[in-house]
Structure 1
Amino acid sequence: MSRPAGNTRLKAARVAAGYNSQQALADAMTGAAKDLGIRGLSVGVRQVRRWESSTPPWPQPDCQRVLTHLLGQGIESLGFTAPWKSDAQQPDPVRRDLVVGTFAAAGLAAVPKQVSASVQPASAGADFEAVTRSHRRLYWTVAPATLHPAVLAHAALGCALLPETSFKTRRTVAAALAESYLLAGRIEFFDMRQPDAASETLLRALQAAGEADDPLLGSAVLAHSAFIPAWEGLRDKAEERMLAARTYARRGPASVEFLAWLYAVEAECETRCGNTRTALRLIRQGEEVLAAGSEHSTPSWMDWFSPVRLAAFKGNTQLQAGHLPQARETLLRVIEELPRGADKQRTVVYGDLAAVEASAGNPEEACEYAFRALDQLTMTWYATGMDRVREVRRALTPWQHERCVRDLDDRLYGWGTTVSALMR
């Protein structure tokens, strides 16, 4: 029985370029990475052997860049098949599942099994990006359960378009696809409380950002993914993802807002893991970065952060640290400065103010802020905001026979609120 020939295209290109062994190519890639300004890339002979196997895995973006630089051919000409394609004789099932698995489960369109011979015009990139941009704006007003399937369906379209695009259009589609997956992941985690689904979706976002070769998008995806282990108290895993996020941010022209947001995310992760002192130090570093300024502009897709939102992070951390007067002052200032349209953030801040008053032994004031949060939730649902209200109710247990707390229970467990929460 004959053995599989393996990836003969890569092997032929390697030999033609003067690298007579797999080890020689591995060494050349490690050296070339430094010349190209790629830090920390080290390629071993085992990796080259896998690439030359009969089922070569899709190389990471940095490896693609070095391979095409050394061998002078496009990555697909070297025998590799993108994860969203299935025209190879034996496609990698793990990578393919990462890209299209949720569409089959959700009953949505999957990526075509055969690569289309047609080529999309340059306008396809702008058209696809325009819908992504609209979804970004709709996130702040449309119910998560309504928007989420539309965003996933749009991402499925992006997966189908990618094989039919090239050059600048391909990068435009890939970047918009990464943003769509990022938005879907944010909805799943923050609005719907589905961390497992969010984890898979954010991995797809990272793959798409790699295809776009957009390090800032990659950094944003990695930072969002750090929330998931942090919410479970897994500090080491969250810290590793934040390290990766900062590494990617150094590769792009990161604005001060972007860098300050990374500090805020890391502070939130530390707070969730009980390290409020470290978190407050990180918040201060974020404030210093914002004050320093920069010539780089913030990406248009980063519409979830601003100086006032950094203050909201700070107020929550002060609350968790037990610095109640400072937390109250910070959060009241945030409420005054939040812009119109920041309804989801407003719900969270009201919840934090209620928690401040509960911790200070002021049940009536705590209930008043909790009522305001619930009023906001009836207009704009946000699972994170509802979590804050529930945490406040648990903190009010010592006063559960007080009239104000009973009124809160009537509101919290009314027919509409209870059914709405269970549906979501």
Structure 2
Amino acid sequence: MESDGNVRLRAARIAAGYSTQETLAEAVGVAVRQVRRWESSNPPWPRGAAARRLAELLGQDLEQLGFTRPAGVPDQQSAHSRELPRTQGVVTVPVPGVTLQPATVAEDFAGITRRHRRLYWTVAPATLHPTVVAHATLGCSLLTETAGVTRRTVAAALAETFLLAGRIEFFDGREPDSARETWTRALQAAGQADDQLLGSAILAHMAFVPGWAGDRPAAVERMTAARTYARRGSSSAELLAWLDAVEAECETRCGHTQTALTLLGHAQDVLATGSEHTSPEWLDWFSPVRLAAFTGHTQLAAGHLPQARQTLLQVLDALKPSEDKQRTVILGDLAAVEAADRNPEKACEYAVAALDQLCATWYATGMDRVREVRRALTPWQHEHCVRDLDDRLYGWETTVSALGR
């Protein structure tokens, strides 16, 4: 043992993100003087729950942390060597190993996650997705080389990275099976971070898969889980309103539009009331304008055409320049309103505008809206406006772009 104390324990403590002895003592559940003794030149062997907690938080065995095992004390498997249960067909999030990265790795990794979050709104999904997946692979490796606060920070950023990858797969690539698997990994990472709000957001995204497939019981089950996680965390009004909106979307696709409208009305009340809690920074996909977009789509599905038209036009005017993906969806919904109102020329006008936007900013959800409109225009398929729409919809550029993505 070096004369300046237990340097192994001190180094592991700092690497795990516990910058002071006081923060480690609080995490372990012991007095500060106990940590001082452990970091002394002659540290006593930790006992009982404190020993297990110390090894778990710092990701190393006690002997690797600079302690000398007393005679007669058995060698037991430490917390960091336990494996998580494996899910069939899904790569599980690893548990910590013995090579620790410095505490700065957490912020470095999380910083890249934040940049990917912003890039999602402008970068082509086919270009961004491989980069996000590679970043997730790095995060899984870092989980084996970090512990304590550092590991939880990496795990939270990894959960968000997997969440983003799943969003690209589901909303941009129309790959629900891949998205479901990716979101399962996200949920595992959120569990490693013990982040209730991220868990809620991931579970709500997972509800989209059965919801869009018309499997209402499965969607409701996932939403119940999402609300349970939200209740355990410090949920903002925006997060709670978004949960209502997600469930409303699922109900709409399952044909329960009145239930959906009730949920959307509740979401508006939640936003109006507000909350003492602020939204997590990753909740960048929801706002009052986005709630109105959900509402307009449900009003359309319910056959409330004048209300849907008014709502969607207000949304279109309120969208920011950075919300071009959402713009394609709104234009598609406006086209559907006009088709349902037996106004094919106006419907085609909106559909062509959506195609123009899709050429600049691809979004599979927006293209789905245009295709739905074209099916609704079948009674007028010999009209010039519909034929012109077909020329755009099945032109070389659009067809190759859609198939290529």
Counterpart residue number, 1:276: 257
- TM-superposed CA distance for 1:118, in Å, is 2.4
- TM-superposed CA distance for 1:117, in Å, is 3.9
Maintained 8 Å contact 1:68/1:74:
no
For the residue of structure 2 that corresponds to 1:416, the secondary structure is helix
Counterpart residue number, 1:224: 205
> For residues 100 and 398 of structure 1, what CA distance do their matches in structure 2 show?
51
- 2:91 corresponds to 1:99: yes
Counterpart among 346, 351, 356 of residue 365 in structure 1: 346
> For residues 341 and 351 of structure 1, what CA distance do their matches in structure 2 show?
18
| Larger-Rg structure | 2
- 2:129 corresponds to 1:137: no
For the residue of structure 1 that corresponds to 2:278, the secondary structure is coil
- Aligned identity (percent) is 67
Gaps of 5+ in 1: 1-66, 102-110
> For residues 68 and 324 of structure 1, what CA distance do their matches in structure 2 show?
63
- TM-superposed CA distance for 1:423, in Å, is 1.1
Counterpart residue number, 1:44: none
Counterpart among 231, 237, 245 of residue 226 in structure 2: 245
The amino acid of 2:86's aligned partner reads V
Counterpart residue number, 1:395: 376
Counterpart residue number, 1:291: 272
- TM-superposed CA distance for 1:340, in Å, is 1.8
User: Aligned ranges for residues 331-342 of structure 1 at < 5 Å?
Assistant: 331-342=312-323
> For residues 178 and 96 of structure 1, what CA distance do their matches in structure 2 show?
19
- TM-superposed CA distance for 1:119, in Å, is 1.1
- TM-superposed CA distance for 1:116, in Å, is 5.7
User: Aligned ranges for residues 203-222 of structure 1 at < 5 Å?
Assistant: 203-222=184-203
Counterpart residue number, 1:324: 305
Query: Are residues 242 and 93 of structure 1, via their aligned partners in 2, closer, same or farther at CA, if it must alter by over 3 Å?
Result: closer
- 2:257 corresponds to 1:265: no
Maintained 8 Å contact 2:196/2:230:
yes
> For residues 50 and 114 of structure 2, what CA distance do their matches in structure 1 show?
33
> For residues 253 and 276 of structure 1, what CA distance do their matches in structure 2 show?
30
> For residues 264 and 318 of structure 1, what CA distance do their matches in structure 2 show?
13
Query: Are residues 286 and 74 of structure 1, via their aligned partners in 2, closer, same or farther at CA, if it must alter by over 3 Å?
Result: farther
Counterpart among 185, 202, 209 of residue 183 in structure 2: 202
- 2:178 corresponds to 1:186: no
Maintained 8 Å contact 2:52/2:78:
no
> After alignment, is 310-319 or 116-125 more displaced?
116-125
The amino acid of 2:90's aligned partner reads L
Counterpart residue number, 1:151: 132
- TM-superposed CA distance for 1:70, in Å, is 13
The amino acid of 1:291's aligned partner reads A
> For residues 327 and 124 of structure 1, what CA distance do their matches in structure 2 show?
48
Query: Are residues 69 and 335 of structure 1, via their aligned partners in 2, closer, same or farther at CA, if it must alter by over 3 Å?
Result: farther
Query: Are residues 165 and 226 of structure 1, via their aligned partners in 2, closer, same or farther at CA, if it must alter by over 3 Å?
Result: same
- The TM-score with structure 1 as length reference comes to 0.77
Maintained 8 Å contact 1:188/1:197:
yes
Query: Are residues 421 and 80 of structure 1, via their aligned partners in 2, closer, same or farther at CA, if it must alter by over 3 Å?
Result: farther
- 2:355 corresponds to 1:344: no
- The TM-score with structure 2 as length reference comes to 0.80
Query: Are residues 93 and 289 of structure 1, via their aligned partners in 2, closer, same or farther at CA, if it must alter by over 3 Å?
Result: closer
Counterpart among 271, 288, 292 of residue 311 in structure 1: 292
- TM-superposed CA distance for 1:99, in Å, is 2.3
- TM-superposed CA distance for 1:293, in Å, is 1.1
**What CA RMSD, in Å, does the superposition of the two structures yield over aligned residues?**
2.3
For the residue of structure 1 that corresponds to 2:90, the secondary structure is helix
The amino acid of 1:309's aligned partner reads R
> For residues 97 and 359 of structure 1, what CA distance do their matches in structure 2 show?
43
Maintained 8 Å contact 1:223/1:241:
yes
Query: Are residues 236 and 401 of structure 1, via their aligned partners in 2, closer, same or farther at CA, if it must alter by over 3 Å?
Result: same
Maintained 8 Å contact 2:96/2:147:
no
- TM-superposed CA distance for 1:385, in Å, is 0.2
Maintained 8 Å contact 1:158/1:177:
yes
Query: Are residues 174 and 193 of structure 1, via their aligned partners in 2, closer, same or farther at CA, if it must alter by over 3 Å?
Result: same
The amino acid of 1:397's aligned partner reads T
> For residues 302 and 131 of structure 1, what CA distance do their matches in structure 2 show?
16
Maintained 8 Å contact 1:233/1:273:
yes
- TM-superposed CA distance for 1:96, in Å, is 8.2
Counterpart residue number, 1:61: none
- TM-superposed CA distance for 1:126, in Å, is 0.3
- TM-superposed CA distance for 1:94, in Å, is 3.3
Query: Are residues 299 and 323 of structure 1, via their aligned partners in 2, closer, same or farther at CA, if it must alter by over 3 Å?
Result: same
Query: Are residues 81 and 69 of structure 1, via their aligned partners in 2, closer, same or farther at CA, if it must alter by over 3 Å?
Result: closer
- TM-superposed CA distance for 1:166, in Å, is 1.2
> For residues 50 and 276 of structure 2, what CA distance do their matches in structure 1 show?
31
- After TM superposition, the runs of 4+ consecutive aligned structure 1 residues lying more than 4 A away are 67-82
Counterpart residue number, 2:359: 378
Counterpart among 147, 156, 171 of residue 166 in structure 1: 147
> For residues 396 and 139 of structure 1, what CA distance do their matches in structure 2 show?
32
> For residues 326 and 50 of structure 2, what CA distance do their matches in structure 1 show?
46
Counterpart residue number, 1:9: none
Maintained 8 Å contact 1:178/1:205:
yes
- TM-superposed CA distance for 1:390, in Å, is 0.1
> For residues 101 and 88 of structure 2, what CA distance do their matches in structure 1 show?
23
For the residue of structure 2 that corresponds to 1:294, the secondary structure is coil
The amino acid of 1:221's aligned partner reads I
The amino acid of 2:226's aligned partner reads A
In the alignment of these two chains, the number of paired residues is: 341
What do residues 248-281 of structure 1 show as CA deviations (whole Å, max 9, x unaligned)? 0011111101100000000000001000000000
Structure possessing the higher relative contact order (Cα contacts under 8 Å, 6 or more residues apart)? 2
> For residues 167 and 311 of structure 1, what CA distance do their matches in structure 2 show?
41
- TM-superposed CA distance for 1:115, in Å, is 7.0
